[in-house]
Structure 1
């Protein structure tokens, strides 16, 4: 099989960047040449993995996401800490307009990627992107492109519960339409704004769907979820999307994680706690959870997040604002997580049970899947019960059947050939495309 040159990119959000990097590792391992295009601040992530790096132009503004999240949570924290249906029914005009404002980044990013694709110095054979919306540059170039979705795959199952609802597949379907309507209304402005950009680009037949956050594949697209948890009971799924059981990225740092000296002589299991880059910026929730976990007989590795300097940890805890998560998860006995899909997949890949405290969007769906498949517990950020959380920790460590289920999922993810098959599918489509020239 010949070696091809790929452009790999993602929207500017760590979950999507990490997913794109993990998939790109598979392309490189198969002998292909990978160019990762993104903001200069992410160069080290590409270089560490042996990818070539293409920086976006400096004129492409980079928002201070930390400050933006702090501002958003300060203004909308009480709205965010609600169950999903109520949140979307009561979403403020400010938040709706803020979502729509993110579209200001859409056209400049599209233009930057279009310039890269058309640069004669590169001559890419394929494009792989975790972009969450249809981008005109993909449609206006002849290079084969392959979308990724690093989200919970409910977005690909129209007959399943509404994405981002956190509803069980076993829940009453008569309630689903109310959620869909509330969600659509809350996201109407961003949907209209994005579709206006597509109209302006001369693509009136290409539409953005805020409930799905994915593009329709030109040929094939790939989503990241283990076969044991996939929503087969909700089939059929959207056409041309193929599951990959695991494309978990390598750790961002080469050094092995060692349990800090502060915790080495302390009793109990090792528990990793992270609410992701967004959830951890909510100090109301972080402080409350840290106070509860301080009463546990176990020891905790804490990813403190962008406002970590404002957090005080207990004696049974060690943490930093950023930790080398993939390496930490491997040393943990349990993971308490927001349920973001990357952390969710990493936790399962390394065979760890979890407690999911979802903060927004598909995190609620992953949290409910944990319950439906009996591999952990769900605790909602708007209803944190101290006794329940501490009890869940102990129940997990004493539930051999649950631990065995998680280990079986891990084994199946590690032995699956779905990732190598995905790479072969991409190679085949590129080969067919070239044969038509």
Structure 2
């Protein structure tokens, strides 16, 4: 018998990328492969909870690990700014921190890969790690952020939240983006050159994989491109949704027969407790049920309306499948899960590609974009009521959901990864 292929998955230190990779790993396991996870510090147990082996990256004691919760807390004020102003206050510092992380984990990552001897590596990240490029096995890039991460003259600039129409706003954002990331890019390029690699051209930090690139963006929100992507190297998955145990909603003190909304702003967005409390006050006036993900800040909520249930975590795909509306921050996993189950979105972004997905929700007619802070109670209530009652949008989304589920993104991803792992010659290095 042919030995099972060992596939090492290395997602970035975010729950979106981590849980996206879980879905792929579940299907790899079903197909007989051995998926294992390489983890950044702080993500211990996330993958083990789904039954996968974890290999932790030890810290280089010469540099402290980036605490992303602390990083977000220190930059929270930036979330009130427009995407252009966030370039200086948030995007630039974030790239600096990402480059710091890539440099710090290089040696631990090289040691882990030498120990694992995988047949292929799945990289769900925004930067290259030399240990991966030099491992001697094929590597697969997963784009779990918005499709705008792969540039094209007809695709709005990454992280800009710009409309689909090219113009001066695109140029202004792109020029400023290159300015604020130039120092981090020079430092990153020098690091890559020391390991024998050529750096991506600025302002990019990661080139496409020469083996395979997987993108989540479903057709309903996909951009037209001037330069068509090579279909042998770029595979659109139409979503990539993990399997979760069935979730049974709790009994509410009232409105138990009314439509259900899920509210989740991701593991870091939940720290904005004051904003969440404003929202909950608005929910109390509406004839719907609301499940609210409060993350680590669950205990900050004392007086909860009868039609609201708050918890620290929900098995999100299972809940979205039962929901009539999903209010979220525009994280690509959340956005794609809403589309996968035919649920309209209210996107209230605060950073990164959430801006791009919020704009795309409006343009594609699959939801609404609402500012994270500049809304009144009546505006939020109206947006919720309008989407709850928009039968035409709901019918269109349900039809799209049928197509996405038929596309079976996780199965397509796993099969493509195994094809690459089987076909590519192995020149792995030990040490």
The TM-score, its normalising length taken from structure 1, stands at 0.88
SS at structure 2 position matched to 1:54 = strand
Deviation at 1:39, TM superposition (A): 4.4
CA distance in 1 between counterparts of 2:102 and 2:201 reads 12
Deviation at 1:31, TM superposition (A): 1.4
Correspondence 1:308 to 2:311:
no
Q: Aligned-residue CA RMSD in angstroms? A: 2.6
CA distance in 2 between counterparts of 1:428 and 1:235 reads 29
- Judged with a 3 Å threshold, the aligned counterparts in structure 2 of structure 1 residues 98 and 400 are, in CA distance, closer, same or farther, namely closer
Correspondence 1:218 to 2:210:
yes
1:68 corresponding residue in structure 2: 71
- Any conservation in 1 of the 2:13–2:43 contact (CA below 8 Å)? no
- Any conservation in 2 of the 1:303–1:322 contact (CA below 8 Å)? yes
CA distance in 1 between counterparts of 2:254 and 2:370 reads 28
1:23 corresponding residue in structure 2: 24
SS at structure 2 position matched to 1:262 = coil
Correspondence 1:164 to 2:164:
no
CA distance in 2 between counterparts of 1:267 and 1:185 reads 53
CA distance in 2 between counterparts of 1:85 and 1:97 reads 14
1:207 corresponding residue in structure 2: 200
CA distance in 1 between counterparts of 2:351 and 2:171 reads 19
SS at structure 2 position matched to 1:407 = helix
Correspondence 1:84 to 2:83:
yes
Deviation at 1:62, TM superposition (A): 4.8
SS at structure 2 position matched to 1:70 = helix
Q: Find 1:112's aligned residue among 98, 108, 111.
A: 108
Q: Find 1:136's aligned residue among 130, 139, 145.
A: 130
2:121 corresponding residue in structure 1: 127
CA deviation profile, 1:86-108 (whole Å, cap 9, x unmatched): 333xx24x984564244322123
CA distance in 2 between counterparts of 1:362 and 1:405 reads 24
- Any conservation in 1 of the 2:212–2:234 contact (CA below 8 Å)? yes
- Judged with a 3 Å threshold, the aligned counterparts in structure 2 of structure 1 residues 372 and 48 are, in CA distance, closer, same or farther, namely same
- For structure 1, list consecutive stretches of 5 or more residues without a partner in the other structure: none
CA distance in 1 between counterparts of 2:343 and 2:285 reads 22
CA distance in 2 between counterparts of 1:347 and 1:14 reads 17
Correspondence 1:242 to 2:235:
yes
Deviation at 1:130, TM superposition (A): 0.6
CA deviation profile, 1:56-104 (whole Å, cap 9, x unmatched): 236576544333322332xxx1x3212212333xx24x98456424432
CA distance in 1 between counterparts of 2:94 and 2:424 reads 41
CA distance in 1 between counterparts of 2:91 and 2:386 reads 39
2:38 corresponding residue in structure 1: 37
1:5 corresponding residue in structure 2: 6
Deviation at 1:371, TM superposition (A): 0.9
Q: Find 1:155's aligned residue among 127, 149, 158.
A: 149
Deviation at 1:316, TM superposition (A): 2.2
Deviation at 1:415, TM superposition (A): 0.4
- Judged with a 3 Å threshold, the aligned counterparts in structure 2 of structure 1 residues 275 and 181 are, in CA distance, closer, same or farther, namely same
Deviation at 1:238, TM superposition (A): 4.9
CA distance in 1 between counterparts of 2:93 and 2:312 reads 30
Q: Find 1:340's aligned residue among 318, 331, 343.
A: 331
CA distance in 2 between counterparts of 1:157 and 1:123 reads 33
CA distance in 2 between counterparts of 1:237 and 1:110 reads 34
- For structure 2, list consecutive stretches of 5 or more residues without a partner in the other structure: none
Aligned length: 421
Deviation at 1:144, TM superposition (A): 1.0
Deviation at 1:195, TM superposition (A): 2.0
Deviation at 1:381, TM superposition (A): 1.5
CA distance in 2 between counterparts of 1:237 and 1:282 reads 40
CA distance in 2 between counterparts of 1:70 and 1:40 reads 18
SS at structure 1 position matched to 2:291 = strand
Deviation at 1:265, TM superposition (A): 4.8
Q: Find 2:168's aligned residue among 151, 154, 174.
A: 174
Correspondence 1:277 to 2:267:
yes
2:342 corresponding residue in structure 1: 351
CA distance in 2 between counterparts of 1:51 and 1:311 reads 34
Correspondence 1:321 to 2:312:
yes
CA distance in 2 between counterparts of 1:123 and 1:95 reads 35
1:100 corresponding residue in structure 2: 96
The TM-score, its normalising length taken from structure 2, stands at 0.89
